[in-house]
């Protein structure tokens, strides 16, 4: 979450014994919020209270102690609150939930440190994991992944991961014609057509998965996991116990969170003989070759800039190279009519040129970079410490952090892979 500014506060009122499925309700809610990169939430246990029933629950009555009131308070950016509220309401069969506008006037995170050698995978992994069986239909997998934060699904047989399905697997072997983020940006008819093509192929998880996935034990220390991820260019890994059974998933984001959230397990991490410190300036790892377009750049040239980077986005600048905003591939797809979607998808997926300017002008709701960009981007100075950059990237769910000078002129950028690599080597 951004350090200061407008925010929303969500309060959920429950009783101590309330459950969501087989989980205690507070645990289920916190699991969802953490999985969806919420800024943070607190569970408060009340001493006494009553609800719609009029029954007083108090710590002084032993027979109703398990029904003490519980309040879950969550403060976050308005966009994330709006996105997750429907899922929270669907989770809770009863209770009270309120939302109000608030303003963050001070935000001081705990002391930040490097990826800790005192922490293990089991300390920070996500324990609630969406898995599929080897015969699950690929269409069902795609529909389940749409709109979710996870981009890799373990294929499990007998409790053990026998494969993993990623975005690339769905495209390469599952006959999915677009990345999941682009599929979500298509109009309903376009999404139905893509899902129908996947369905027609008749494939199941075993047909498209990457077999024998790399896994890590729950006892592996985080620096080893970070090194494995950076050297093998992996974003997430299944976590297994001593018998090889799946017990969780660990992602690059999970590792970066440990740097900014002050996890403390066991002894403090010993100093490393090499590699950057979390207090090093971002200039030590930033990349100067940032895809950028002028605010007046026409649509076809914007496409070319966006497809030139693995993050599928480009920074928008003015004539003085001052940063104005950012453009993503999903926003590009939304700005052309469905008639041009095939050409736009081909350009974005195969890194090819888009249509000529005259044709794009006839079918676009936006014709130049200034019409396409959003100003919701993360900007830091070259002197900003890596721990603070990680805080911005993780808290605001930014895939790209732009580095600018005092006049906001573009100097470079870092992504999550750059940040983890800087702390690992």
Q: For residue 301, which of 327, 265, 280, 269 has the smallest C-alpha distance? A: 327
Please check the confidence at residue 382 and state whether its pLDDT lies above 90: yes
In a domain, 172, yes or no: yes
Do 302 and 420 have their domain in common? yes
How far is it, in rounded angstroms, from Cα 159 to Cα 156? 6
Q: Are residues 420 and 351 in the same domain?
A: yes
339, 239: one domain: no
Express each pLDDT in 159-199 by its tens digit.
Answer: 999 999 998 899 889 988 888 888 887 888 888 888 998 99
Q: What is the Cα–Cα distance from 269 to 261, expressed in whole angstroms?
A: 15
Task: Assess if residue 271 is contained within a domain.
Answer: no
Q: What is the mean pLDDT of residues 333-360?
A: 64
Q: Which of the pair, 425 or 35, is modelled with greater confidence?
A: 35
- The residue segments making up the domain with residue 172 are 121-260
Cα 95 from Cα 87, distance rounded (Å): 14
Give the lowest-confidence range in 331-345, 373-387, 403-417: 331-345
Q: What percent of the chain has pLDDT over 70?
A: 80
The DSSP bridge partners found for residue 104 are 5
Q: Which of 205, 203, 257 shows the shortest CA–CA distance to 390?
A: 257
Contacts of residue 34, defined as CB under 8 A and 6 or more positions apart, other chains included, come to 126
Please check whether residues 23 and 78 belong to one and the same domain. Answer: yes
Q: Which of 47-61, 63-77, 297-311 has the lowest mean pLDDT?
A: 47-61
What pairs with residue 101 in β-bridges?
A: 8
Identify which has the larger pLDDT, 107 or 396. Answer: 396
Q: Please give the structure tokens belonging to residue 52.
A: 């719609």
Does residue 137 sit in the same domain as residue 220?
yes
Q: Are residues 132 and 41 in the same domain?
A: no
The residue among 74, 104, 134 that closes a domain is 104
For residue 272, tell me if it sits in a domain.
Answer: no
Q: Tokens representing 399? A: 């895939």
The pair of three-digit structure tokens given for residue 343, joined into one six-digit string: 């050409």
**pLDDT class of 51 with cuts at 50, 70, 90:** low
- How many independent structural domains does the chain possess? 3
Residue 28 lies in a domain: yes
The mean per-residue pLDDT over the stretch 38-43 comes to 81
- pLDDT at residue 268 above 80? no
Stretch 321-336: mean pLDDT, rounded?
85
Strand (E) or helix (H) holding 317: strand 313-317
Instruction: Count each helix (H run) and each strand (E run) in the chain, helices first.
Output: 17, 20
The reply to whether 382 and 288 lie within a common domain is yes
In a shared domain, residues 96 and 136: no
Among 104, 133, 161, the domain-final residue is 104
Summarised one tens digit per residue, pLDDT across range 76-115 is 888 889 888 998 998 887 789 999 999 888 765 443 345 6
Band (267; pLDDT cuts 50, 70, 90): very low
56 vs 65: which has the higher pLDDT: 56
Give pLDDT tens digits for 107-136: 654 433 456 667 889 988 988 899 999 999
User: Could you write out the DSSP letters of every residue in 391-416?
Assistant: HHHHHTT-SEEEEE-TT-BEEEEEEH
Q: Is the residue at 372 inside a domain?
A: yes
Which of 265, 260, 181 is CA-nearest to residue 221?
A: 265
User: pLDDT above 90 covers what percent of the chain?
Assistant: 32
Q: Is residue 269 part of a domain?
A: no
CATH of the domain at 16: 3.30.70.120
Confidence at residue 160, expressed as pLDDT on a 0 to 100 scale: 96
Using the predicted structure, report yes or no on whether residue 272 has a pLDDT greater than 70: no
The Cα 131–Cα 240 span in angstroms is 14
Name the pTM for this structure: 0.62
The partner residues of 48 in beta bridges, in order of sequence, read 58
Task: Looking at the structure, tell me whether residues 28 and 98 fall in a common domain.
Answer: yes
- Among 104, 131, 161, the domain boundary falls at 104
Q: To the nearest whole number, what is the mean pLDDT of the chain? A: 81
CATH number at residue 305: 3.10.580.10
Q: Which of 31-45, 116-130, 243-257 has the lowest mean pLDDT?
A: 31-45
What is residue 264's predicted lDDT score, i.e. its pLDDT? Answer: 41
Instruction: Let me know if residue 268 belongs to a domain.
Output: no
* Lowest-pLDDT choice from 77-86, 143-152, 153-162, 402-411: 143-152
Same domain, 420 and 294: yes
> Is residue 273's pLDDT more than 50?
no
Q: Do residues 86 and 160 both lie within one domain?
A: no
271 vs 196, residue with greater confidence: 196
Radius of gyration, CA atoms only, the chain: 23
**What stretch of H or E contains 345?**
helix 341-350
> Quick one: 233 and 157 in the same domain?
yes
Considering the domain boundaries, does residue 274 fall inside one?
Answer: no
């Amino acid at each position: 979450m951004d350090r200061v500014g407008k925010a929303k506060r969500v309060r959920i009122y429950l009783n101590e014994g309330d459950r969501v499925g087989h989980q205690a309700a507070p645990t289920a809610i916190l699991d969802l919020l953490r999985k969806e990169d919420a800024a943070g939430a607190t569970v408060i246990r009340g001493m006494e209270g009553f609800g719609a029933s009029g029954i007083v629950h108090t710590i002084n009555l032993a027979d109703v102690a398990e029904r003490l009131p519980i309040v879950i308070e969550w403060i976050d950016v308005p966009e994330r609150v709006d996105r997750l509220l429907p899922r929270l309401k669907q989770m809770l069969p009863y209770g009270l939930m309120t939302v109000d506008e608030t303003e963050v006037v001070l935000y001081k995170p705990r002391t930040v440190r490097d990826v800790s050698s005192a922490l293990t995978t089991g300390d920070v992994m996500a324990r609630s994991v969406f898995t599929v069986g080897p015969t699950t239909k690929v269409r069902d997998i795609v529909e389940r992944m749409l709109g979710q934060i996870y981009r890799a699904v373990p294929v499990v047989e007998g409790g053990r991961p026998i494969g993993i399905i990623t975005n690339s697997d769905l495209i390469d072997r599952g006959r999915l014609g677009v990345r999941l983020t682009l599929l979500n940006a298509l109009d309903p008819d376009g999404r139905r057509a893509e899902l129908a093509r996947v369905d027609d192929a008749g494939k199941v998880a075993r047909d498209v998965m990457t077999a024998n996935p790399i896994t890590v034990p729950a006892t592996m220390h985080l620096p080893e996991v970070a090194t494995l991820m950076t050297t093998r260019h992996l974003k997430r890994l299944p976590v297994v116990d001593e018998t090889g059974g799946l017990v969780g998933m660990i992602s690059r984001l999970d590792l970066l969170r440990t740097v900014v959230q002050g996890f403390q397990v066991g002894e403090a991490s010993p100093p490393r003989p090499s590699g950057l410190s979390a207090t090093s300036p971002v200039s030590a790892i930033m990349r100067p070759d940032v895809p950028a377009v002028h605010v007046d750049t026409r649509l076809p040239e914007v496409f070319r800039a966006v497809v030139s980077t693995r993050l599928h986005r480009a920074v928008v600048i003015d004539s003085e190279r001052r940063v104005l905003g950012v453009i993503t591939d999903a926003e590009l797809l939304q700005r052309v009519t469905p008639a041009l979607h095939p050409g736009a998808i081909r350009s974005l997926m195969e890194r090819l040129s888009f249509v000529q300017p005259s044709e794009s002008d006839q079918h676009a709701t936006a014709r130049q970079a200034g019409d396409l960009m959003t100003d919701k981007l993360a900007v830091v100075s070259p002197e900003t410490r890596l721990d603070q950059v990680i805080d911005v990237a993780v808290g605001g769910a930014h895939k790209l952090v732009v580095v600018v000078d005092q006049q906001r002129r573009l100097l470079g950028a870092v992504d999550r892979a750059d940040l983890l690599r800087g702390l690992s080597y």
